[in-house]
Each structure stands twice: as structure tokens, then as C-alpha cells.
Structure 1
């Protein structure tokens, strides 16, 4: 079939959404475009139904909520690098998405406790092309800002894919779609916008030191540019380094990044992450009388960190940093930030999550309340706010159960693809969700025919019913637990000669090994399950829907942790189909 190309011009929000729908329909019809893998629906395409994800973390059993309390983190699973803005009583928050598609999940709240995902900012391939991108590349550290001077929302980010680099998109209403990206003319990462009340605008970002002035590994700087709102572009020649290295360059601080500027009482406050996004992570703050500096560090830095605490503390939360501030509904300040909840072996399988703390700004500098002591699993709600998480469409937290029989006209926003749109390989049927298998293996850096849900607990179960009869050993459908293309488990149904098998494959550093396989009767649907108890994972199947048989014993979750696999994402649990299978029964 001939490839159809689309030339896309910047459009209004409503037109742009229609354009995205139009392209999705072409994907479903089997057309090919934007280098995404698409094709006709296979005759024996697998059908998934009766999906259940259930969280079972001990911390939530040991700390039940009382009236006027809510759980921290507010978004569990790999929702890192939060940025937040406010227009009146409406709050909007965005997060990094790397090579996941659609990109940049966006949430809405009116009280900072109850959040609803309203979609993704970059939800068209014309906005985000990550089809040949490693899972930890793609979209980094987005910032969202509302400019009251022109009643417009902006999202600015770095996209390590598709030749984009630093980009900005904008909208009048975040719930109605975003513009085509505008490529910005500067290097570096982690850009954010600041709109002064005099109408001027600025971009601040992380960058390398001037050439020849690099002092040590991890030495970075914060730069500022003037920003032209008419052209949506930085003003050439206005760049200036406002922080060199960090709070105290004599101590060789690393990775000063994620800058945000705030104005309070006529002064400008620059808040940044420092120390890298791992165990030395922290948040620091500077002040100036001018947005372009010079900036003086606060004497009490860091204002948020968990790095100096007892490593053996209970209910450990670590790596806290990469924060953003906002005024809450009670007139007080709050800060959202990333942190991790490692499992019992210190491994980071869930990924970096979004937390929140009240911020005391009664003095000269903002300070995260209890941000330098062990973070607690519960917080008090702001005055007058009722915790409705998990109800009325609000995002759940704590130990929750998410079920989906795929009968809705639209997929839940929690379901995401990898490197390509979901619409390219899924279709709804009366029996469930049909996934068209691409000739792509999960280990390839290409769009995969896999529908992912984030792992959101250290202890959980993830179960689905699969109706599938593979045609050959190259066909497989089932479950994948994926940290990256080089570190993952595949658990599914395939064929050998005339018989059907369920097979479990472990991939570490790109090298795959079949742990176990077993012959099954595939004439009826089979129930597949992966469950974890901290670092212990088990993969099981049931042919009668209730009695599960373990395959391969208890296996380690080590390869599903960023400690082992590297990168920046958390574990993704997927409904997977492929016609390029290499997990052959033993």
C-alpha cells in the first residue's frame, strides 16, 4: 500500500484535534505515515479482556487514611519531573514521558488533592516523533505556564527525538488540544518560561558551561534568555549565565537543572534541582532584584532533600527534587516534586513519582515543610478540601484496583503506547480489545504493538484474559514487564509445530533466555497474570479463569529497576502482541 504523507500547518485547538482524529482513523484503516509501523489487522489478532490491576503495598495497609488526609505521592508510578501552573481556581500539571506515546501527560485539579487526567499535550505524531527513540530518550522535563498577559498556556520542553530539541506549544484551553511545536533556537535541557507582570517574558534552562570553562564532570550552568511572545522564540544575543555550577561551585555541585523563576514582593526567586536525579538529588533557591540576575543563593540550601537521612529508614522515600511551586486554594504555597519509593532491596521498579508538600514562604525564602526529614506517607488536606481520589473520575492513589474490559469508546488515558500511537494497532470488539501484532519485537527500538499501564506499587497483581491462537512460532501475545528494550520479561502464548505453549522469557542487557515453557490447550481463552511482592515477581496462567499455575517459579525484579537497567523510566506493564517472536518453547 502506498505511503500517505500529511503536511500539517499550525491550527486552532478545535481544528488541531480534528486533524489528530483524522490521522488516527487513517492508522486504523491500515495506511502508513510518519514512519510509524502500521498494517492490516491480522486474521488471528489476539483479543484482551477483563483486565485488573490491583495495588497491595503494605504502607497503605499500615497507614489508613483518616478524615482530612491524603496520600503522598499524589501520582503513583512513572510520572516524573512535575511542573504546575494555575489559572484562577484551576491547576494544571505535566510530566516527562520520554519515548512513551502520546507524550506529556497532563492533569487538572481545583484543590491540589483530587486530580483528573485530561489527556496528553503531545498526542499527534506531527507534534512528537519518537518512533526510533530509546525508551529513556524523547521528552524530558516539561514546564507548563499560564501567561495572564495574553490568557495563554504554554508547555515548553526538550525532545530528544525527531530533530526537535527544545520546543514550545501553546493553547487557550489545555483540555482542547495544543498547537504544533515551535522549535526554539538554543541548546541545553529543562527549559521553563517566566512571564513578568510588566509583560516581558523569559526562558531559563540548563546548559553546558562556555566552551573551555568546564571545570569537572557534571558541571552545568543555568542560562536566561529574553523571549519574544509574538515570534515564540528566544531573542538572539540575550542569553546570560545566571548560575554557574550551583550554590557553591567550590564544592563542585553537579547537574544544576530544572530552573523556575517566581516573583514575590517585587523580587525574583530562582529555584533549581541540584545533585543529579539520583541519591544526591535536592532543591535549591536563589534571589535577585532583576530576572536577569545576579542571583544570590539562600543561606539555608537545600530547601528539599532526603539525601542525608538514615538509609535504613522505614517507608523510605528518596531522590527528592525537581520541584515547582504554586499558590494553593488556601492562599498558602505548595511544591510538587519527584521522588522514589524503592522496594525492600532498594531497587527502583516503580520509577520516579510525583509528590507534594506545603511550602512555608513566611520568610525571605521558600522552605518545603518537613522536606529535610523522612517524608511521611500521609498529609493533611488544605483547609476545606475533601479527599475524593479514586471517586468521581479522580485519579486513585493508595492501594486501588483499576479494571478495564475495553468497552468504552475511548481508551483510558492511563493506557499508553511506546514510540507510536495506540490507534495504529488497537481496535475495540464485542469480545474485548484486539491488538494487531506488528512484525516488531519488544527489544527493538521501533513502535511496538503493546498497550502499557505503569507499575504503581511495589506489590501488585496485573491480570488479563487472552483469546488467541498463534499461527506459528513467530507469533506471540501476552504480558510484558518492561524497564527498557534491553531489560524486560515476556510472558505469553506462542506455537511450536502443532502445539500451543505458554512461555516466559527474561532479557538482561539485550540477551534473552527462556526461563520456562509449558504446553497448553489454547482452544479456550487463557488468563495471564504477573504479580510482585516487593522484588519477587511471579508469572502465572489459568485455563479455567480461577486456578493459577505458576510458570518459572519466583523471579527477581532486578532487571525491572533503574538501578540495574539505568535510564529514567519506571516499569511498564504491557498487553503485548508480535509477529517477530523469539521466545521459543523449550
Structure 2
């Protein structure tokens, strides 16, 4: 692995992540370098679909996790359910959620929350870690999280814990390639790893041809057993149809038989879920005659309240003894663009017959579901995550930073400090366009119609200084809205950064700017109504002025920017500003 010289300050601050981030006293934090102070953030979502579909007393909204929470996997121990999602180059990595009923969820942290577990400091946002699997092994009362890490030279890794509430082990590198691994533990105590891989050398038949491979897993050494690998699915349900990207495999055992469920068709418009059956975990696996068992690909493209790209699922038995599946899907805006990213949905699964069948998984999905019997909807209360339309307000007065706030390519603790009046961000010399850690605290965009408002106190001293907010899809597709210097004057600037061909250099364009003279609190607001985004400011907290007019948010969509993430909204500071005012 390439050796990287890390500044002592970052090393010392990273140690804080071993015990979680708490309020830091002034003497424990490096002297600020022209540091902006953010005193309040209000995120407000107002999608029309949630106004049109009022919840009954026995209903809840779907998706259960709004915004960029893709590739869900789930496991159960007793009455406790644990769910994990992909996080790519976000830090900390692999958010983990807990529930007792599959309706009300609390985020309990991240699985990879230490720099020793995750090194994503120089990767694109859609690299890093993705498609995690989480499995509880009742044979040794241990939880396993297995994931592919496209960063830091790790590859496929596994971490363990006896209690997900108390943190996870250091990663163990596993001796196999491919992606999307999961672990299955049989009743006899034997373990198996299943994953997506390329066909054997020289046997690739078409672009997108992949296989599902299985290995025996040594539970004592936490390593796959050399020479036990075997291809159990070649291509997909019917290789003569040239199916693409068979992936995200999970094995389940029911009534003495083994069931393999996988995603097929790629993670876009042809995404689906398929299932196979065997007498042995090592096959042969026979596809169900009713495949696919979940997809949204057959319906009108302009249907109302469209949900699409459904797939990448994982099954679990619910509190009412019925099966449920979590999976990813998207809710595109009126331009059919995906700004909120791939989200986590749930559906009941009927497994009264030979094969599992997603209930209403083959018709256009509805925005709400019936709750399991006896469950009360507590979303948005008592620490449970909200869904539907909601307002989230943060004044940074808590001892612990909410887990929904994340960094990019490195720990938040390297640049943030909670003080009496709010949150300070110490600016890095890197700016938002670089493949390096940036001093930006992110919150996921969770609605098509939303506003993200913050109060900031900041006076730039040089033209290299900038602080404000950003709407960010990746390092080459984003908006920056903040204060910087031109000569002796302070300006509020809106810059659009885009990479039309998704490669090469980034085109940067100043959309608007205005001279600012106030040294008091400045209120900045990002708002959107579908594809239309606006960037406004206020010097009195009441009357807002627009900068740059209404701009298209297409560069914040997966369709235009590429990759696997959704848009994020960030509190941003840099000492490496490269915006030049004429």
C-alpha cells in the first residue's frame, strides 16, 4: 500500500473517533484559521406525494430511509433488527440502523467509524465501500458485516461484533475478488460466502456477463477456504437471454431447502430481483418459474409518483412472523432525474408457496404500506428517524453530532468543533473539486422539494478563503454558494462546477455574485422544486435575496453526473478557494 504522510493534527483528532465525537474543549482543538461559525441548520421537505397520501393509523410511508441510503442488507437477533447501507467515500462508512418492528428506525452509528477501518482519502465519491452484507450467526452469537472496499488496498473485508450498539472490530481482508459479498451460516455451524464475480478467464460471453460464486468460510480464522470456490449461477436466470449484472446474492434456508436471491439487470431501469432453489448451499440452483419476483421496469415511464430501479433486496422474518424484504429503488423528479439517489424501501413478502413473492412488487409501487399488526408509527418521535414530509432542525447544542451528518474521504472530527454558539469548521487547503478530504459537513437531500437553510458568521481575509454551503453530487458536479474576497471587498458567489463527459477537467462557471458588507449572521438557503434549484441569502434572517436566478439541478442527478450517490447538502469551508471574480 502506498505510504501517505498524515499531518500530526489529523492523526491526533482521528483518535477521537475511537470513542465517538463529543464536544471538544478549546484547549483540545487546534487554533482556528479564519474559521466560519454555523449556528443553525433547518432542513425542510415538502413533497406533494406526502400531502396527497395521508397516513391511516395503521400505515407508514415507503421508502423507510429517504435520500442516499442504497444497497440495504438486514439481519435479526430476537426482536432486534439491524440494517446497513452503502456509503461509498462518505466517512464514517456503512450507516447502521436498529428497529424492533421494521417501521420505526434509529441510526445507531456507522460500522466503519475509524480511520483504521476505512481509508477513502483519495477516492471518487462513488468508490469506497458499497453493497454491504450483515448477518447474525446464532451458532456463536456474533454479527458479521462483509463489504467490498474499493479504497485503501483492502478489497473484500469482514468485521465482527457481539453487540452492534458497541462498535465493530478491525477489518479482516478476505482472499477473493469480485463484489457484493454476503455470508450465510447453516444450522450445522458451517459458513459460506457468496458474491458477484467475473466469469472464468476466456468465458465471458457478452458485456455485463457475471456469475455468482460461493466459498466455504472458516469461522475460526474468518477466511474463505482456498480451493472451495464454485460458480453457482452463470449469467442469471436464463443465460440465453444475456442477462446482465447478476449480483447482490443472499442465501436463505427454509423447510430444508436453500434459496438464493439476487439482483439482475443492472442497478438502473432494468433492475430486478430473482430467486433460485437448491438442495445444497453449493447448488445446483434452479431458477423460479415466476422470475423476476420484484421489478418496476414494465410500467409507463410517466406514471404518477413513480418509483423505479427496484432491486438489490434482502429478506428477513418480521415481528408478525411474515417475511419482509428491504431493497433499493428511486423516486425521480419531473425530469425523470435522480437527485435523491437510491433509497431504502420495504415490502412484505409472501412465502406461503414454494418461492418468495414480493407483495405488490410487480405493480407500480404505492407511497404507503400497512404496518405489521400491533405496531405503532413513531417515526420522527423519540429519536426515531422521520419519513414523509418533515422538518429537521439542528443548532449543534447536543453533546454528540447527529449521525446523519457525514464527512467525505475523512473524519468529520478533523475539521469540526462544537462550541457554545454553534459549529466551527476549520478550513482545509483542499476545495470541493479535489479528490481529497474536504472540510465539508454533509446532510443528504431527502426530498424533491426541500429547503436547506443555515446561519453563518464569517469574514474571509483573502481570496483563497471561502465558506458557505454546497449542493454536491460528486467532485465534478456541484454548486458552491459562499463568501470570498475580491481585493478589500467581500462577495457572495454562486459557482456551478460540471463535467459534461463525466471525465476530464471540470468546467467552472460563476452563475451570480453580489457584494456583501454585513459582518453579522448571514443566512444562506438552498431550495429546490424538482429540477429547479435556487440559492438565496438574507442579512436579517427574514427577507431573502436570490443570487443567480433559478438553475437546473440536473448536474446533481445520477443520470447526468453518473455514479451511485444522491445529492448532498453541505456546510463548507476552504482555504484553497479557486473562484476568481473579475
* 2:144 is aligned with 1:154: yes
Judge conservation of contact 2:16–2:413 (CA < 8 Å) in 1.
Answer: no
Which of 517, 521, 530 aligns to 1:525? It is 521
Task: Report the Cα distance in structure 1 between the residues aligned to 2:520 and 2:17, rounded to whole angstroms.
Answer: 40
What are the residue-to-residue correspondences of 1:424-573 with 2, within 5 Å? 424-509=414-499, 510-573=506-569
Shift of the alpha carbon at 1:117?
Answer: 0.2
Judge conservation of contact 1:27–1:424 (CA < 8 Å) in 2.
Answer: no
Task: Report the Cα distance in structure 1 between the residues aligned to 2:278 and 2:25, rounded to whole angstroms.
Answer: 51
Task: Report the Cα distance in structure 2 between the residues aligned to 1:338 and 1:344, rounded to whole angstroms.
Answer: 20
Task: Report the Cα distance in structure 2 between the residues aligned to 1:303 and 1:196, rounded to whole angstroms.
Answer: 24
Task: Report the Cα distance in structure 2 between the residues aligned to 1:256 and 1:497, rounded to whole angstroms.
Answer: 57
Task: Report the Cα distance in structure 1 between the residues aligned to 2:61 and 2:20, rounded to whole angstroms.
Answer: 40
Number of aligned residue pairs: 570
Which of 337, 347, 357 aligns to 2:337? It is 347
Task: Report the Cα distance in structure 2 between the residues aligned to 1:2 and 1:563, rounded to whole angstroms.
Answer: 36
Which of 164, 169, 183 aligns to 1:179? It is 169
Q: What is the DSSP-based 3-state SS (H/G/I as helix, E as strand, rest coil) of the residue aligned with 1:61?
A: helix
Which of 7, 18, 21 aligns to 1:20? It is 18
Structure 1 unaligned runs (5+)? Answer: 8-15, 32-39
Task: Report the Cα distance in structure 1 between the residues aligned to 2:520 and 2:104, rounded to whole angstroms.
Answer: 41
Structure 2 unaligned runs (5+)? Answer: 500-505
Judge conservation of contact 1:17–1:176 (CA < 8 Å) in 2.
Answer: no
* 2:319 matched residue in structure 1: 329
Q: What is the DSSP-based 3-state SS (H/G/I as helix, E as strand, rest coil) of the residue aligned with 1:574?
A: strand
Q: What is the DSSP-based 3-state SS (H/G/I as helix, E as strand, rest coil) of the residue aligned with 2:207?
A: coil
Change (3 A) 1:416 1:381: same
Task: Report the Cα distance in structure 2 between the residues aligned to 1:344 and 1:403, rounded to whole angstroms.
Answer: 27
Shift of the alpha carbon at 1:43?
Answer: 3.9
Shift of the alpha carbon at 1:44?
Answer: 2.0
What are the residue-to-residue correspondences of 1:366-385 with 2, within 5 Å? 366-385=356-375
Shift of the alpha carbon at 1:202?
Answer: 0.1
Task: Report the Cα distance in structure 1 between the residues aligned to 2:114 and 2:462, rounded to whole angstroms.
Answer: 34
Task: Report the Cα distance in structure 2 between the residues aligned to 1:216 and 1:538, rounded to whole angstroms.
Answer: 44
Shift of the alpha carbon at 1:42?
Answer: 2.8
* 2:383 matched residue in structure 1: 393
Task: Report the Cα distance in structure 1 between the residues aligned to 2:33 and 2:203, rounded to whole angstroms.
Answer: 61
What are the residue-to-residue correspondences of 1:24-423 with 2, within 5 Å? 40-423=30-413
* 2:570 matched residue in structure 1: 574
Shift of the alpha carbon at 1:6?
Answer: 12
Judge conservation of contact 1:500–1:522 (CA < 8 Å) in 2.
Answer: no
Task: Report the Cα distance in structure 1 between the residues aligned to 2:58 and 2:21, rounded to whole angstroms.
Answer: 45
* 1:36 matched residue in structure 2: none
Change (3 A) 1:570 1:29: farther
Judge conservation of contact 1:24–1:424 (CA < 8 Å) in 2.
Answer: no
Task: Report the Cα distance in structure 2 between the residues aligned to 1:27 and 1:114, rounded to whole angstroms.
Answer: 35
* 2:502 matched residue in structure 1: none
Q: Deviations over 1:440-461 (max 9, x none)?
A: 0100000000000000000000
Task: Report the Cα distance in structure 1 between the residues aligned to 2:428 and 2:22, rounded to whole angstroms.
Answer: 17
Task: Report the Cα distance in structure 2 between the residues aligned to 1:340 and 1:280, rounded to whole angstroms.
Answer: 13
Judge conservation of contact 1:475–1:581 (CA < 8 Å) in 2.
Answer: yes
Q: What is the DSSP-based 3-state SS (H/G/I as helix, E as strand, rest coil) of the residue aligned with 1:336?
A: strand
Change (3 A) 1:23 1:373: closer
Moved more, 351-360 or 518-527: 518-527
Task: Report the Cα distance in structure 1 between the residues aligned to 2:27 and 2:472, rounded to whole angstroms.
Answer: 29
Task: Report the Cα distance in structure 1 between the residues aligned to 2:341 and 2:471, rounded to whole angstroms.
Answer: 13
Task: Report the Cα distance in structure 2 between the residues aligned to 1:22 and 1:392, rounded to whole angstroms.
Answer: 21
Judge conservation of contact 1:17–1:177 (CA < 8 Å) in 2.
Answer: no
Task: Report the Cα distance in structure 1 between the residues aligned to 2:178 and 2:6, rounded to whole angstroms.
Answer: 39
Task: Report the Cα distance in structure 1 between the residues aligned to 2:21 and 2:222, rounded to whole angstroms.
Answer: 26
Moved more, 468-477 or 18-27: 18-27
Q: What is the DSSP-based 3-state SS (H/G/I as helix, E as strand, rest coil) of the residue aligned with 1:175?
A: helix
Q: Deviations over 1:139-173 (max 9, x none)?
A: 01000000000000000000000000000000000
Query: Scaled by the length of structure 1, what TM-score is found?
Result: 0.95
Cα RMSD of the aligned pairs, angstroms, is 2.0
Shift of the alpha carbon at 1:524?
Answer: 1.0
Q: What is the DSSP-based 3-state SS (H/G/I as helix, E as strand, rest coil) of the residue aligned with 1:559?
A: helix
Shift of the alpha carbon at 1:585?
Answer: 3.2
Judge conservation of contact 1:359–1:369 (CA < 8 Å) in 2.
Answer: yes
Q: What is the DSSP-based 3-state SS (H/G/I as helix, E as strand, rest coil) of the residue aligned with 1:224?
A: strand
Judge conservation of contact 2:297–2:308 (CA < 8 Å) in 1.
Answer: yes
Judge conservation of contact 2:23–2:400 (CA < 8 Å) in 1.
Answer: no
